[in-house]
Amino acid sequence: MTRLLAAAAAISLLVTAATADEAITAKITPTFAAAIPNISGKSLKAVTVEYGPGGSSGSHTHAKSAFIWAYVLDGAFRSKVDDGPERIYRKGEFWIEQPGAHHGVSANASATEPAKLLAVFVVDTDDTNLTVPDKR
């Protein structure tokens, strides 16, 4: 369990360094990490993602093994995954991302209120780099 918690701490680095003209406006907090006992080599990892008013993250993909369930805890999120439409998800709504999906838009839908979501990953246990920013 200690190794998994250490891996969860590494997840806090999901938001990578931004370019000089792009401020990092996301707070990523690991909340849970555990091996799935009946699925060899797989783990369940969860983080909260918080954006201040108008906050966002750059476009990115996730680990190729990662199946993700994102649930809005507070506020509203703008999200665009792969070729799907850009959508706004409000408190109590969720979306999923398939392994290797491209997350083109991840942003707070409000310029005045904060937003928070829970992202739950089913991922290869050895995957510690869960987010890869798009190359610029």
Q: What is the pLDDT along the chain (136 residues), one digit of tens a residue?
A: 444 444 444 444 334 333 333 444 789 899 999 999 999 999 999 999 999 999 998 888 888 899 999 999 999 999 999 999 999 999 999 999 999 899 889 999 999 999 999 999 999 999 887 787 888 6
For the chain, where are the alpha helices, taking DSSP H only?
2-11
Q: What is the pTM for the complete model shown?
A: 0.80
List, in sequence order, every beta strand (DSSP E) within 5-84.
26-35, 42-51, 56-57, 60-62, 67-74, 76-81
Pick the CATH number of 2-133 from 3.90.660.10, 2.10.70.10, 3.40.50.720, 2.60.120.10: 2.60.120.10
On whether the CB atoms of residues 121 and 96 are closer than 8 A, the answer is no
Secondary structure letter of residue 7 according to DSSP: H
On whether the CB atoms of residues 46 and 119 are closer than 8 A, the answer is yes
